[in-house]
Amino acid sequence: MSMDLKIKISKKKTNIIYFIIAFFMVSGFLINDLRFPRFIIYIADILNIWLFINAFHYYEKKKGYVCDREVIKPLTIIALFLMLSIISLIYNTSSIVTYLWGFRNYFRFFMFFFSCAVYITKNDFDKIVKMLYYLILPNIVVASYQYFVLKADGDHTGGLFGFVSGSSASLNIYLIIMCIYFALKYLRNECKLSQFAYIVSAAFYLAVIGELKVFFIEFIIIIALAFLLSKKASFKSVILVAGASFILIYANTSLNSIHEYTFRSDKSGGILSITNLMEYLSRDSGYVGDGDLNRFTAVQILHKMFFSNDLIGSLFGFGLGSADYSSSISFLQSQFYLNYNSLHYQWFSSSFLFIELGYIGVVLYLLFFILILCKGIKCFTRDNDNRFYGAFIIIMIPMCFVNFIYNISLRTESSGYLIFCILSVMYVLQKENNVFTNEKVGL
C-alpha cells in the first residue's frame, strides 16, 4: 500500500555533503600545489562517518521512508562485500591494521552513497552539477599553468585535482559527468548550444593537455548513448553527432600540435589513431612498457602469478588491505605492496581489488553498479518525470566500468566521493514526487 509522507531533510547534513564534494574537487590542488598538510583530507573522513551514523539513525527512525526503499538492494551487496572482507581477513590471517586501512579506502564511499541517498534530493543533484560547472574555468587556468609553465606531463596535469601523478584520472571522471549531463540537457532543449559547446570544448582541451586518451573513446560512447536515449532523432541530434565528430578529429590534430610545441611529441604522437591506441592499451610490455601490468590483462596475469594452483585464493584474494598502501604513512604500507608495487597493480581498480578480495570481490563490487544500472533503466522506462536521471545513470555506469579497468579513480577520494554521490540520485527521486509522507522531523 502506497503512503504519502512529508519529510523534512536536514539542511545542515545536506550542506556537509556539498562541502565534502567541493573540498575533494580542490583538495589535490590545496595539498600538492599550495602545500597544505595532507592530514586535512582526514577531516572529511570524520565528517563522513558522522554523516553516515546520523543517516543510518534517521533511516531507521523513519522506517526507511527517507529514500527509495530499493536502496536496500545495493546496501545488501555492500553487506555481502563486508562479509567477504571479514572472511578473507580470517582465512588469510591478515594484518588488522592494513585491513582497517583497506576498509577505510572502500567503505568510505559506500557510507557516503547511503548518506547522500538519505539527505539529498534531485534538486541537490542539479546544484552539485551546477557547482561543477562553475569550476570549469578555474580547472582550465590551473591545468594550463601546470602544463605550460610547470611542464607537467599529462598524468600530472590534473587542474584543481592537483599537480601529482594520477590526478588526471579524477579529471577524467569530472569531464565525463559534465559531458553526460549537458549532452542530455541539450537534447532535451534545456541547454543552449553555446553552453554545450563550451562544455565540450573545455573538456577536449583539458583531455588533450592531460593526455586523457581514454576520454575520447568515452566521449564517443557518451554521445552515442545520449543520442539513442533521446526520444527521437532531431536536428539537434544531428548537430550533436556532427559537432562531436568534428571536435574529435580536431582534438587528434591538436594533441600532436600541443606536444610538439612543448617538446613532448614523443609522448603521445598519433596515439588517437585506432591502431596506435589499441596497441597502447593491450601491449604485452605493460602500462609503462617495462614489464609491469597492462590494464586489460592485469587480472589474468596476477592470477597466473599468485593463484594458478590456489582456487580458494583466487576466489577470496589475500585479504582486504593486504595489498594496500599509504603514500604518507609508512606503517600502512603492506608487505605485498613493498614487494610488488613495481607491477603497478595499484594503478587499476580491477587488479587492486582482485589481489585483495579475489574473483568474488570483483563480482560483488561490480554487482553494486549493475543494480544501480538496472534501477536507472527502470526509471528511464517507467518514470516520465525522471527520465533524464535514468538516462544519466544508464550512461554513467558504463563509464564506471571503463574506469574500473582503466585507472584507480573509483578508489581515490578526489573522484570517488563525487561518483558515489552522483550514483545515489536513483534513490532520491521519490522525495521530489512527495511519495513519502509523515510528520515533520527536525534534525
Q: Say if 238 falls within a structural domain.
A: no
Q: What is the pTM of this model?
A: 0.90
Residue 71 grid coordinates:
536502496
Of 16, 106, 84, give the one whose Cα is nearest residue 443.
16
How many Cβ atoms sit within 10 Å of the Cβ of residue 328?
A: 10
**What is the torsion angle, in degrees rounded to the nearest 10, for the CA atoms of residue 52, residue 55, residue 57 and residue 61?**
-170
DSSP letters spanning 364-412: HHHHHHHHHHHHHHHHHHH-GGGHHHHHHHHHHHHHHHHHHHH-STTTS
Q: Judge whether 85 and 323 are in contact, CB under 8 Å.
A: no
Domain of residue 80 covers 12-164+281-431
- 28/414 Cα distance (integer angstroms): 7
Q: Which of 377, 409, 155, 429 is nearest to 287 (CA)?
A: 155
Is residue 102 in some structural domain?
yes
**Count of domains in the chain?**
1
Residues in the chain with pLDDT values less than 70: 1-8, 63-64, 154, 231-291, 432-443
User: Where do runs of H (alpha helix) occur along 93-166?
Assistant: 96-119, 122-134, 136-144
Closest CA to 297 of 336, 343, 338, 361: 343
How many Å apart are CA 324 and CA 361, to the nearest integer? 15
Q: What does the DSSP 8-state code read for residue 145?
A: I
What local confidence, expressed as pLDDT, does residue 398 receive? 97
Sequence-separated (6 or more) residues with CB below 8 Å from residue 407 = 166, 169, 172, 214, 295, 347, 348, 349
Count of CB atoms situated within 10 Å of the CB of 263 = 9
Question: CA–CA separation, 197 vs 244, rounded Å?
Answer: 9
Q: Residue type at 310? A: D
Distances (CA, A) of 42 to 30, 39, 225, 386: 14, 5, 38, 36
Tally of CB atoms within 10 A around 371: 19
176 lies in a domain? Answer: no
Please check whether residue 248 lies inside any domain of the structure. Answer: no
Q: How many CA atoms lie within 13 A of 51 on its CB side?
A: 30
Domain membership flag for residue 265: no
| Distant-in-sequence, close-in-space partners of 276: CB < 8 Å, separation ≥ 6 | 270
pLDDT of residue 439: 33
**Helices 11-28 and 122-134, axial angle in degrees (round to 10):** 30
Cα–Cα distance list, 81 to 358, 361, 362 (Å):
11, 7, 10
Q: What is the dihedral of CA 401, 153, 219, 270, to 10 degrees?
A: -110
Q: Could you tell me if residue 58 is inside a domain?
A: yes
* Domain membership flag for residue 422: yes
Give the position of cell 582497517: 100
- pLDDT reported for residue 169: 93
Q: Give the C-alpha separation, 169 to 173, whole Å.
A: 7
Q: Is residue 41 part of a domain?
A: yes
